[in-house]
Amino acid sequence: MRLVEQPETQAVGRALVERGVRTVRLVGHGSSDAAASYGVYAFGLLPGWTALRDSISLTVYYDAALDLKSSAVIALSQSGQTPDVVEYATRARSRGALTIAVTNDEGSALADVCDLTLPLAAGPERAVAASKTYLNSVAALLLMAGFAAGRADEVADGVRATASLLDETIPPLAGDAARIATAFAYVGRMYVIGRGLEYSTAREIALKLTETCRIAAEPLTATDLVHGPIAAVDSLVPVWTIASRDATLHAVKDAAERARGAGGVLVASGSAAAEIHGAPYRLPVPEAPAPLYAPLLSVVAGQLFSAALARQRGFDADHPERLTKVTLAP
C-alpha cells in the first residue's frame, strides 16, 4: 500500500512529534469530514492527544482570534481545491499552527498553503462520490496517529493486513450487497447507526446513500437514536447498524433492539453483524487486526450497497445530479 511506504507519511509523523503538538484540529467537508470523525478517535486512542473536528466558520467567516501555536491542523480535501478549507489552512498557518494537507492532488491549492502534504495516493478520481479516497483518508489519519504514539511499525503492519482482508472481502461482499439492495428499491428514508470508531462509518454510509441513491439517510450515534429519532422509526424507515467488536458494541446492540421494537427493518453490518438480533439483512465483514482498523473494512459494505442500490434505481452513482467533485461551500 503506497500510503504506508511513502516518505511523506514518515515526514508528517516526525513533524507532529517534533513540534510538541497539544491539540489536533481536523477540517473538511463531506467524506473528508466523515474521515475527520475517525481522526478524533485515532489521535485520542494512540498518542492520547486531544483531537477535534474544528469549526471552519469560526475562523473563515467570523475571524476568531484563536491562538493555534500548539495546534496541528489537518486539512482534508480529496481535490485540495475546496475554497474555505484552503482559506482555513492559510489563516491557521499564519496563527502558528503546523498545517498538514491530506489530499489526492499534490499540486493543489491546499498543498500549496500548508507546511506539509500527505498525498492520498489513491489514483485518478473518476467518480464524484468518494470511496477509495475516503478509505485512504482514514488510513492516513491512522498512520499519523501511529507515528505520534511511537507505534509506526505496528500500525503500518495493521494497515497492510487490513488491506489484504479488503482484497479478499470485496468480491463476495459486492454480490451480497447487490442481492440485498433489491429489497430497498423504494426506501425514502433511513437511519445509519454507529458508535465510537464506527460513527465515522455511519456518517460516510449515510452520505453515500444520500448522494448516490437519493435517500434521506441520517447518521446517528447509538445513543442519539433513543433521544428523539426513535419516534420516527417504523416499517418504512430501515435502520442500518454498524456492529464491530469493540467497547461500544453493547450500545449498538441496544439501539438495534429498540429500533426493532419500534417496527424498524434492520440491516446489520460490521464484524459483529451476527450479534444484531432480528436483522433480516446482513452484510458482515471480517474482524480487523484490532478495533482501530475496523472502519476500513466496515465502510465498504455501505459503499457497495449504495452503488448497487443506485444502479437498481436507475441512477448514475459516479455522477450524482447537482454534485461536483469540488465542494463550493456557501
Per-residue pLDDT of the chain (330 residues; tens, 9 = 90+): 678 877 888 899 999 999 989 899 999 999 999 999 999 999 999 999 999 999 999 999 999 989 999 999 999 999 999 999 999 999 999 999 999 999 999 999 999 999 999 999 876 665 444 577 899 999 999 999 999 999 999 999 999 999 999 999 999 999 999 999 999 988 999 999 999 999 999 999 999 999 999 999 999 999 998 888 888 888 899 999 999 999 999 999 999 999 999 999 999 999 999 999 999 999 999 999 999 999 999 999 999 999 999 999 987 655 555 444 455 555
Instruction: Please give the Cα distance from 304 to 215 (Å, whole number).
Output: 15
- Residue holding cell 511511537? 150
DSSP annotation of 287 reads P
**% helix, strand, coil for the chain, step of 5:** 50, 15, 35
Instruction: Please give the Cα distance from 32 to 54 (Å, whole number).
Output: 13
User: From the CA atom positions of the chain, what is the Rg in Å?
Assistant: 19
Domains delineated in the chain: 2-150 (3.40.50.10490), 172-312 (3.40.50.10490)
Instruction: Please give the Cα distance from 213 to 210 (Å, whole number).
Output: 6
328 contacts: CB under 8 Å, gap ≥ 6 = 82, 83
Determine contact, residues 231/220, Cβ cutoff 8 Å. no
Instruction: Please give the Cα distance from 73 to 9 (Å, whole number).
Output: 15
pLDDT at 22: 86
| Cα–Cα distance list, 314 to 215, 236, 259, 317, 320 (Å) | 13, 21, 29, 9, 11
pTM above 0.75, yes or no: yes
Return the amino acid letter for 205: I
What 3-state class would DSSP assign to 189? Answer: strand
Pairing of strands 216-221, 189-194: parallel
Catalytic residues, by residue number, are 325
Q: Is 19 left (phi over 0), alpha (psi -120 to 50) or beta?
A: alpha
Q: Is 166 left (phi over 0), alpha (psi -120 to 50) or beta?
A: alpha
Sheet holding 216-221, edge to edge: 216-221, 189-194, 239-242, 266-270, 281-284
Strand (E) or helix (H) holding 138: helix 132-148
pLDDT at 321: 58
Determine contact, residues 295/34, Cβ cutoff 8 Å. no
pLDDT at 1: 61
